[in-house]
């Protein structure tokens, strides 16, 4: 286990399809990139998700398949955390509680902390409004340190992201809009996580990256791989 900002406990990660995840540690929960409605892989309805006690919604960027239902949670009072542009847009559209940050900045809460990292991609809301720079997220919760890469290609500064130690790296493998599985596996050489998990694949036909290819490449590197189906959970 690597060092984190809050006390150690089991961290359960539930995959909600595409790039949406629910992180739970004790009675603390955070939701990441909540693309629920319109996500053909999502195993829960929005009404069910809104009934969860979620401490914060973390957003990597503003594209519709990541922004998703963030505003529904924001209007219900859940903290929305993302770039300054994302937080500002959320507040302007009815979110009651927002925190904007930028690359390198850390936002802390009772649940833990999130630090925004670079990501090589683009970012705009479904209505065309600029969403700020796309980001990855270093998430510290339940005594674990997880890198959620967002939508990105491989880049050399991933070596800096891995310097603090990572219990898990969650990487996009779908290809076309992000890197594919072979490039994602090469990221592991830079990040050096204890374990890895693929995301952003299989949701739509263009996202054709094969998770089994990623898993095979990761295992060659001695890195444990989790391949949950939408709705499944893994515990660190």
d(CA 151, CA 123): 10
Residue count (the chain) = 236
Q: What angle do CA 149, 185, 161 make, to 5 degrees?
A: 40
Question: How many domains are there within the chain?
Answer: 1
168 close to 1: Cβ distance less than 8 angstroms: no
Give residue 38's domain range: 12-223
Q: What angle do CA 50, 171, 13 make, to 5 degrees?
A: 40
Task: For residue 58, tell me if it sits in a domain.
Answer: yes
**Coil, strand or helix at 41:** coil
Task: For residue 128, tell me if it sits in a domain.
Answer: yes
Give, for all 236 residues of the chain, the pLDDT tens digit.
Answer: 344 444 557 999 999 999 999 999 999 999 999 999 999 999 999 999 999 999 999 999 999 999 999 999 999 999 999 999 999 999 999 999 999 999 999 999 999 999 999 999 999 999 999 999 999 999 999 999 999 999 999 999 999 999 999 999 999 999 999 999 999 999 999 999 999 999 999 999 999 999 999 999 999 999 999 999 999 999 99
Contacts 24+ apart (CB under 8 A), 157-163: 157/118, 158/187, 158/190, 158/191, 159/190, 159/191, 161/117, 161/136, 161/190, 161/191, 162/190, 162/191, 162/192, 162/193
d(CA 165, CA 147): 10
Task: For residue 228, tell me if it sits in a domain.
Answer: no
d(CA 130, CA 125): 6
Task: For residue 3, tell me if it sits in a domain.
Answer: no
Task: For residue 230, tell me if it sits in a domain.
Answer: no
Task: For residue 42, tell me if it sits in a domain.
Answer: yes
Read off the CATH number of the domain in which 33 is found.
Answer: 3.60.15.10
How does DSSP classify residue 194?
S
Task: For residue 170, tell me if it sits in a domain.
Answer: yes
Q: Look up the pTM and report it.
A: 0.95
Task: For residue 229, tell me if it sits in a domain.
Answer: no
């Amino acid at each position: 286990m690597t060092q984190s900002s809050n006390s150690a406990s089991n961290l359960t990660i539930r995959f909600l399809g595409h790039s949406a995840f629910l992180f739970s540690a004790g009675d603390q929960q955070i939701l990441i990139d909540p693309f629920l409605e319109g996500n053909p892989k999502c195993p829960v309805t929005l009404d069910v998700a809104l009934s969860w006690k979620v401490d914060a919604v973390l957003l990597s960027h503003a594209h519709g398949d990541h922004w998703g239902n963030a505003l529904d949670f924001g209007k219900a009072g859940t903290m929305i955390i993302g770039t300054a542009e994302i937080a500002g847009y959320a507040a302007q559209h009815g979110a009651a509680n927002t925190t904007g940050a930028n690359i390198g900045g850390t936002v802390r809460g009772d649940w833990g902390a999130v630090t925004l990292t670079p990501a090589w991609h683009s970012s705009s809301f479904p209505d065309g409004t600029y969403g700020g720079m796309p980001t990855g997220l270093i998430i510290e919760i339940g005594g674990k340190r997880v890198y959620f890469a967002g939508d990105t290609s491989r880049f050399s500064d991933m070596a800096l992201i891995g310097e603090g130690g990572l219990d898990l790296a969650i990487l996009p493998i779908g290809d076309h809009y992000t890197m594919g599985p072979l490039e994602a596996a090469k990221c592991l050489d830079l990040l050096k996580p204890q374990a890895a998990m693929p995301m952003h694949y299989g949701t739509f036909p263009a996202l054709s990256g094969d998770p089994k290819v990623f898993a095979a490449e990761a295992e060659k590197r001695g890195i444990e791989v989790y391949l949950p189906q939408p709705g499944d959970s893994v515990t660190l």
